[in-house]
Structure 1
Amino acid sequence: MIKEKSCGALVFRKNAGNTELLLIKHRCGGHWSFPKGHVESGENELQTALREIKEETGLEVSLMDGFRQSVEYFPKPHVKKQVVYFLGTPDGDDTVRRQEEEISEYRWCLLEDVEGMVTFKNDKKLVNEAKRYLERRDDL
């Protein structure tokens, strides 16, 4: 069994009193999901997530303490993939500059609409975990 590991984040912003989550559409597979990518040698999970978000979206983000979710799946036979997700907000400018080689589209979506837009069941679960986490926070 080959094991792969990636890290990424659910990136959200406040806009006109609403919480919006950034979705990206991957060129490979055409699914809507979140920025993520493979861990490179010498990186920890947080470093990987920050680098991948920057590469795929152009955004500098701050990751929030207390939110770390891990999902596992089998993208192909004999390959087990773990993806660790964090929750983050853009540092200042929230203008997305997508990585055209990998990302075909992006959207800022209302948090309550995201679950219906993401493709995979694991991502739907992540969205619900993020909603619960954000509802518990009174400083946002």
Structure 2
Amino acid sequence: MRREKSCGALVFRPNEESYDLILLRHRFGGHWSFPKGHVEQGENEQQTAMREVKEETGVSITLLDGFRESVEYFPKPGVKKQVVYFLGRALEDKLVRQEEEISEVRWVPIHQAGEMVTFSNDKRLIRLAKKRLGLPQ
């Protein structure tokens, strides 16, 4: 069994009522999810998450303490993938899509994000992020 590891972040910004999250639609597969990517040699998990968010969305982030969630799945036969997610506050609002991998990127109100994401693991991550941000479930 081959193992792969990626890291990413649920990226938020405050809005008038609550928070928005960045969601992106992957060009391959068409699913809505969060920015993430493979760990490069010499990087730790946090560095990978911050780099991938910047590459895929154009947004720099700071990571909140106390949020590190891991998801595991099998993207293809013989491959087990672990993705570690952090919660990151956006330092800017303007989104710049990475055209090679991402077909669409947008800010979505956090209370609508759970309906947009494709996978149940991502729905769970949004619930955990809302809890960490002190929002009602």
Same fold (TM over 0.5): yes
- Which residue pairs with 1:114 in the alignment? 113
Contact 2:53 2:59 in 1 (8 A): yes
- Which residue pairs with 1:94 in the alignment? 93
Q: What whole-Å deviation, never above 9, does each CA across 1:45-85 have from its counterpart, x for those lacking one?
A: 00100110011011111010100000000000010000000
- Which residue pairs with 2:129 in the alignment? 130
Normalization by structure 1: what TM-score? 0.94
Q: What's the secondary structure of 1:135's corresponding residue? A: coil
Structure 2: distance between partners of 1:15 and 1:33: 20
Deviation at 1:18, TM superposition (A): 2.5
**Which ranges of 4 or more aligned residues in structure 1 deviate by more than 6 Å?**
none
Q: Which amino acid aligns with 1:106?
A: V
Deviation at 1:34, TM superposition (A): 0.2
Q: Which amino acid aligns with 1:94?
A: D
Equivalent residues, number: 135
Deviation at 1:11, TM superposition (A): 0.2
Q: What whole-Å deviation, never above 9, does each CA across 1:69-124 have from its counterpart, x for those lacking one?
A: 00000000010000000001111x21011101111111211111111100001101
Counterpart mapping for 1:1-140 below 5 A: 1-91=1-91, 93-135=92-134
Q: Which amino acid aligns with 1:110?
A: P
Percent of pairs identical after alignment? 64
